[in-house]
Structure 1
């Protein structure tokens, strides 16, 4: 076999083995610096994040939720290299959608009754970090975590979503603050050649769907707050088991919630929606129609196929 043919085949296999990982080494180290145990498995192309779930900041008391942040032992094994899910993965059900650099979890924007947890008349009480612990102690953020989004805000790394892609703050390196209307369907965009999510100050705040192949958490301890890793129908009356007493926009909002905030017309709303496209699915489910979810494909695998086809063509036509 000619030397050129050997080089072509070797190049194809080298490319396959060296696809760029999703998170940079610097981002991974930032997670490690905040007491994450991180294991990279090159053979399975996965990366595992482990943390107690207790954030590296205190949770304010006296705003209605007197629960303490408890150990919940998050453990997530995520894709190491880029993937693209088609159709996009569901992020509408209750529970964890990502991990923050602080060790706490990111949740989607909903209360246990399917209302906007961050803004509006049914907003939950959030502390000064814009987060809170559930009654079972799982501390989480529903929006931009103010305790993390400090200092130099340009391209501020906040954490990782359950599909392995990074979550960044609203401001990019040019000083532009992104809004949800400027982002894609999943609340992210391709920026400087890589895909990332942007946390914003407008609904849905964090993630609308999963751009890549998402995985479920493996978790022990008290659980993960609003259903942990399993969705569950909210009760029809009384306080939801998810979070503390809400009022208008958290501790600075004031005012009392109306009775409708403690009810859901659609008992199983969290298992009926896929994408985070409406603010109040518990009572407006008919307008949350994007409910498709399906298989996934890997960007890396697709490129590998192309290289293999090229290599096969070279071997067939020139390596005799």
Structure 2
């Protein structure tokens, strides 16, 4: 791995690497620029993503492509009602020598695609909590460290809710971003169909490796931030909490719960990373606003009045910003 003489040189390298990664991914993933951007910000910020979108919007292909370009190990776990925690984490078996041996589950990879995470019961969903937060797995009282970097990208289908188990707020809060995928434009869909119905094969370059990604994750934390920008990020999260001194009339009227301190942390980290990939050496308020919607969307809870009047989470966040 290259050694950089200063953080300024390292930020320039991250900016250049980000642009090359975007160009490489664009050979396979048509459109979805903001989604790709958010996923990469999550990775460089050492966070996790929750992707919400109807089937067929290339969520799985996106994760596979990102893993290939970043030269990271990848596993896809299909969450089903009968999936058990041991199916994810691994289990101990009795070997021929009459001793127990731990067999690692699919979670022991750099990138995990948790497909339709709301299709499995809470007990299995909770098996991800320790892994996502502590980056370790505990089985039979023994702790096993996960490979680094470690990144969970979970998907949900927003239109089919029968037989699902909504994620509890404690687990939703572990995801840095909640990203909504929309349908492609006509021109983008035309290109998708043209590419996928022909005998076309793309050879992707491996542009980074695990050590370089871990280095850039540490770099993002080292990026300086002005006090007024830090206060701005914290104030945004604080204003979402109804019944507090900083809450607006709209917040008090339409929200039951606001965002916790983890939102403030992710707003700052996301702003730092957004600035770095944009070629800036320190974030400003625009960088905070750029990541705010995806960070706050799953951390604020609307009340019945908001739902009855058709006030969306996005509208509340937009007015807040």
TM-score range, shorter chain: under 0.3
**Structure with the bigger percentage of helix:** 2
TM normalised by structure 1 equals: 0.24
TM normalised by structure 2 equals: 0.24
Q: Computing the radius of gyration over CA atoms, which structure comes out larger, 1 or 2?
A: 1
